[in-house]
Amino acid sequence: MRQIQRCNNSIHKFLLTQKGTFISFGSEFRNPEILHPLLCHHPNWPKLRKILEEGSNWPLLPINKNDRPAKNKELIERGNHKSALKYNSELKEVLKKEVKQGWMIPLPLTYISSLRNGELAPVGMDDKQWNERQDGTKQVKLRLTHDQSFDTKSGVSVNARVISKSLEPLYYGWCLSRVIHYIVSLRICHPYTKILGGKSDIKAAYRRITLHGDTAELCTIMYDNIGLTSTRLTFGGSPCPNEFFLASELCTDLANYIIHCPTWDPDIIKSPHAKNLHPPSLLDESIPYRKARELDVEIAEDNWGRFDNFIDNGFAIVPDLANNKKRALEAMLLAIHILYRPLDPNEQIKRNDCLSIGKTP
């Protein structure tokens, strides 16, 4: 707290003093100066570069300066959602991890309103998701939810003040339609050729994007008498899908450029994760091929294969021709390796790898 006080109670000014550390802007990505020659012609690069250098800064309508401390006081008296109380011990462990990773800054709860933009929101624990055990049984997967849509009598929520028209437009919603259309087009062109599919996953995807300090102050939660200011995209801020879209779309396009490059040799230029992948699991040869129906739209013939994405998930679809199988396995991994900063064994804080191997079949 004292270091932030010396920075005029500004999280942003404090973060500017932390260049080169695990809480600095863009710390999960390679240096923008290194990436620029490769990515400078991509339309997303200028905006993504700004985020990597200054943090994600959300466009918001202003709030009355008297409403924010009144809102914080009301939320402190109310407390977190019932699910946070139900899973209190699990929530505590999650928050320990967040702080240890440098994703949250713990501060005295009474100090939050002293920050220029300090704003609290309640949290909950979502228990509606499941993990699959090795034996096929299900296990409840708990996820921290940051309710930045929660309004109080004293003031409206952060999400209600977001200027939506200023956010980057999203194309995630059409991912499934694009993938299906491409699969059908491949079956039309290749009636008796296997069509292979694969998936990659960015681990803790939103936590890879650092927030601008002024926005970080708006993303503060509470636990007992502690306020925890998030330094990364939250699971509850409405601009977060749009902000992460800049990175995920660019990474997917990069993977598409790689797989369509005829001079790329995956045996020479590859991600260090390539050796950890399992070979494709193929359907039984006795299963007959189905005839594809005619499409209402024209899809350009593409025998190299294509990548698409939905938030933190990348999808590969390729016809089993030539060396496509190996190229498809490694192109997205290489794109992720190029964009995100690899692990450094000498770092003071142990980071998780960006690629979630367990979710990348």
pLDDT tens, residue by residue, 245-281: 999 999 999 999 999 999 999 999 999 988 887 778 8
Residue reference for tokens 């990364």:
232
Closest CA to 60 of 212, 156, 147, 163: 163
| Cα gap 179→308, rounded to integer Å | 7
Answer whether 252's CB lies under 8 Å from 266's CB: no
Token duo for residue 13: 């000014």
Q: Is the pLDDT of residue 225 over 90?
A: yes
Neighbouring residues of 129: CB distance < 8 A, sequence distance ≥ 6: 140, 141, 143
Q: Is the pLDDT of residue 355 over 90?
A: no
Closest CA to 315 of 305, 304, 301: 305
Answer whether 130's CB lies under 8 Å from 153's CB: no
| Cα gap 74→68, rounded to integer Å | 10
Over residues 194-206, mean pLDDT: 93
- Number of structural domains found in the chain: 1
Q: What is the pLDDT of residues 227-240, one digit of tens each?
A: 999 999 999 999 99
Q: What is the pLDDT of residues 114-153, one digit of tens each?
A: 999 999 999 999 988 877 777 778 888 889 999 999 999 9
Neighbouring residues of 34: CB distance < 8 A, sequence distance ≥ 6: none
Over residues 93-116, mean pLDDT: 95
Answer whether 112's CB lies under 8 Å from 118's CB: yes
**Domain that includes residue 192, residue range:** 2-359
Answer whether 197's CB lies under 8 Å from 315's CB: yes
* pLDDT attached to residue 83: 96
